[in-house]
Each structure stands twice: as structure tokens, then as C-alpha cells.
Amino acid sequence: MARYLASRLLVMPPILLGVVTILFLIFKMVPGDQALLAAGATATQAEIETIRHQLGLDRPLLAQYGAHLLGLLHGDFGYSTMFRGNPLPHILERVPATLTLAASAILVTIVIGIPAGILAASRQNRLADLLVSGSVTAFLSVPNFWLGMLLIAILSVGLRWLPSFGFDGLHSLVMPTLALAARLVAIIARLTRGLVIEEMRKPYVRTALAKGLTMHRVLWRHVLPNAMIPIITALGLEAGYLLGGAVVVERLFAWPGIGDLLLGGIGVRDYTLILAITVLFALGFLLLNLAVDLVCLAVNPRLRNG
């Protein structure tokens, strides 16, 4: 287990290095003068040249790249025009908000998606199933930011139950979470429904029922554990959606996470900041997938000794 974890963690730095390299090259293709952006519109030509030299923008590309990597080794992402320095501390300040949103979306997905799938499977082709399957189809087509707007229109403007934006206690977490989680809930509910229906046809279920176990026990003790692995794997496959969707949802609800900061960085063309946050998103993606694999390993004894 420890060995597996170590091997998985060891491949992360090279992947992140690759991501940094690709982004570095892409951002160097940007038209426009970085020194001018950093100096501001009122700067004189001499000031711009001084800043160009200070930021190392007058050096060859390879030297700039080397300096960038060297800086990364001690957590320095370079000069961000928004923060007038290394953006990392300011980004890290905002990480908890994004983590809270992502974690609560995953929690909602599990708590709603799996039971909804089971319900639909056990009432196959009856009203509950049609309702669940219909909602699944709808939630897979609806853009999360529109769903968020509808929630604002109904829950804050209409009923005045919840604040429409901001970061203030559990109340303000509800709507962003629902907007972000809707697609995941739909995917997990659909998958759970299919898996449960498939498992229920297998001989071990008939055996368990024949020896007198209740349906309830068969479902929770035997069928669900078998369905867990594909469900968790599917969550991992949607890690990209979860993180990307967070950017849009954070902007809609003025949620102070790193996605909101990323869009702020786009507004002022702060490429140092954009690169840093994008790399952090890639790291988040890798860690989420690692977590998914570890959970799979934990719930499936067959994989443990492999």
C-alpha cells in the first residue's frame, strides 16, 4: 500500500513539470508586452525597460524557462502583476473555499445520487424510476451556471430563503453546491441504477434471498459493495468536470475560491497568476484521481494484493 502510494506520488512531479512547460510555451506566444503590462499605462519607456530587465523578460526564452523552474522549486511562481510578486500565498489563501465547494458537491453527489439510483432500480419502469431517469436526462443537458441562476431566482429572489452570493456560513454553500453537483448526481444515479439492476439478476442474489435474507439486507450488504467500484471510478472520471465547473459556479455566486481568482487574472491578463492556478488545478485533478484509486483499493480486497 505504502509502496503503491509512493509510486503514484513519484510520477506527479514529472507530470506537473510537463504541464508547466506546455503552459509556459503557450503563454510565451501571447501577443503584447508583458513588461508594459507590469509597468502600467503611465510608465515611461525607461521604466518599462527597467522592469523588463528586472523580470528577466530581456533574456533568452530558455534562460527564462530555467529561471521559472528554479523559482518553482522553492514555491515562487514569478511576478504576478495583480499581486506585484509571487502569487502563491494569495492563491493558497483561496484554496479552502474551492475545496469546501468541491467536497460538499462530492458529498451531495453520494448522498443523493446513489439512493436515487437504488430507488429507480427497485421501482423499475414505475413512477419513481421515470422521475429519476427524467431528471437524469435533464441534469445532463442543463448548464450548471443556468441551474445556479434558476436557483437564485427561486430560492433567493422568490422565496428569500438563501443569500444569492458570497461566502458566509452553510447557508451560502447550498446553491453553489447544488449547481455544481447536479451533473454528478445525474451521472451517479444513472450508473447506480444500471449497476443495481444488473447485479440483482446474478445468482448470488437469488441464493441470498432463498436462504431467507431480506431484500434490504441483500441490497445494502451484497449488491451495493459490488457496485461501489464502478461508482467511485466514475466519480474520478468526472474530476475534470468538478474542478472546471467550480470556476463557473464560483464566478456566478461570487464564491472566493481559486476559480474566481483565475477569472480575475484573465481580466487583467496576469499570465503568471493564470499559469500558477492552472497548475494547481492539474495538481488537484491528479490528487482527486489518486484518492479515487485509494478508495477503490480500500473497498475491494481483491485489488489489495495485486
Partner 1 sequence: MAEAVIAARRALSRNRFLVIGAALLLGFAVFGEVLAPYDPDAQDLLALLEAPSLAHWCGTDEVGRDILSRLITGTRITMMIALLPVALAGLIGVSLGAVAGYLGGSVDRAISALIELLMTIPGLVLAIAIVAVVGANAAGLVAAITVSSTPPLARLIQARVRELRQEDYVSAAIVLGFRLPRILFLHVLPNAASVIVIQLSLLAGQAVLIGSALGFLGLGVQPPAPEWGSMLGASRQYIEIAPHVVIAPGLAIALLVFAFNMLGDGLRDRFDPNLSA
Interface ranges with partner 1 (CB under 8 A) = 15, 18-19, 22-23, 26-27, 29-30, 137-138, 140-146, 149-150, 152-153, 157-158, 164, 190-191, 193-194, 239-245, 247-248, 251-252, 262-263, 266, 269, 271, 274, 277-278, 281-282, 285-286
* Crossing angle between the packed helical segments 239-252 and 144-151, to the nearest 10 degrees: 40
Quote the radius of gyration of the chain (alpha carbons, Å).
24
CB of 57 to partner 1, least distance (A): 17
CB of 248 to partner 1, least distance (A): 5
CB of 141 to partner 1, least distance (A): 4
Who contacts 298 (Cβ-Cβ below 8 Å, separation ≥6)?
none
Give backbone dihedrals phi and psi of 199, rounded to 5 degrees, phi first: -65, -35
The residue (of 177 and 192) whose beta carbon lies closer to partner 1 is 192
CA-CA distances (angstroms) from residue 112 to 68, 106, 132?
Answer: 45, 10, 11
**Nearest-CA neighbor of 32 among 260, 262, 268?**
268
Residue entry with cell 495583480: 82
CB of 174 to partner 1, least distance (A): 17
Residue entry with cell 431467507: 212
The residue (of 4 and 241) whose beta carbon lies closer to partner 1 is 241
Contact call for residues 43 and 36 (beta carbons, < 8 A): yes
The residue (of 205 and 246) whose beta carbon lies closer to partner 1 is 246
The residue (of 116 and 243) whose beta carbon lies closer to partner 1 is 243
The residue (of 39 and 252) whose beta carbon lies closer to partner 1 is 252
CB of 207 to partner 1, least distance (A): 26
The residue (of 167 and 271) whose beta carbon lies closer to partner 1 is 271
CB of 93 to partner 1, least distance (A): 19
**Count of CB atoms situated within 10 Å of the CB of 3:** 7
Who contacts 125 (Cβ-Cβ below 8 Å, separation ≥6)?
none
